[in-house]
Amino acid sequence: MMNFFRNRLVVLGLVLLATVLLYLLLPSIRQGSMEPSLEVQQRMGLIAASPPPPPSSINITVRTGQLPGDPPLFFREALPVDSAGRQILPRLQMVLLHGQAFTSKTWEELGTLSLLASNGYQALALDLPGFGNSPDSESVKSDQSRVDLLKRFLEALGVRAPVLLSPSMSGHYALPFLQRHSAQLHGFVPIAPVGTRGITPQQYRDIQTPTLIIYGELDTNLGAQSHKNLIQLPHHSVVKLVGARHACYMDKPREFHRALLDFLSKLD
């Protein structure tokens, strides 16, 4: 009789344990039916394994706007504040472009816009034509038309002598602008941009804009190629993010932000 009750207790205990485990695992199981878990995504290389930067203790509002024209241009803006969260005059203005797989929202989600604003910089992130909330247009199919687009954006928003950040695909816009209007830029931050082979050695030497070249150690294609070409710029420094791929700022956000703020502090 005692053995019967003991066996019943063991069975009830196992059922109770299985119920608890099922309850704890249910959210993961439900998530797994829709998308890989965070750990699986990291192992598959779909997202960065590095933790995002800690949120700023200052509450930063990222505003959005749309500049009319052909095409209309959507943008996000974070205005500079002091340590008490009061709006101040910017130490510098920074314009952030984006790569093929990203939009201006990338810089908001990564915390870059808030980080810049909390350090006293005005940050503007643009959706390039055909990406995010900016419609595509046949009017931006040449280098000159893309230069004109950036000029229109800067002039309309009263941006003078900004630091221009350009990853990957956005090199189609940034590099022609750098060639023609380098004197209008206070600084340049290329992150493995396309188009670096289209500039001659003499053209590189003529550009006096302070430049921070950033690329990922594992980006042996565009990163290595752009690095080789961009070091012809006379006033450059280089940051290679160890263990990072092409979108190195996604893989190593802390290191990326640290390098960016250090570069900007030297331009003030």
Query: Residue 201 corresponds to which tokens in the numbers above?
Result: 């050695």
> Is 219 an annotated catalytic residue?
yes
Kindly list the distances between the CA atom of residue 216 and the CA atoms of 76, 96, 100, 235, 264, in Å, as whole numbers in the listed order: 26, 18, 17, 21, 20
Q: Pick the catalytic residue: 98, 172, 227, 246?
A: 246
Q: Pick the catalytic residue: 104, 118, 168, 170?
A: 168
Q: Could you tell me if 52 and 59 are in contact, meaning their C-beta atoms sit under 8 angstroms apart? A: no
Sign of the alpha-carbon torsion through 60, 61, 67, 72: positive
Q: Pick the catalytic residue: 170, 219, 226, 257?
A: 219
> Is 246 an annotated catalytic residue?
yes
Find where tokens 């608890």 sit. Answer: 20
Sequence-distant (≥ 6) Cβ neighbours of residue 248 within 8 angstroms = 191, 192, 214, 215, 216, 219, 223, 241, 256
What is the set of active-site residues? 168, 219, 246
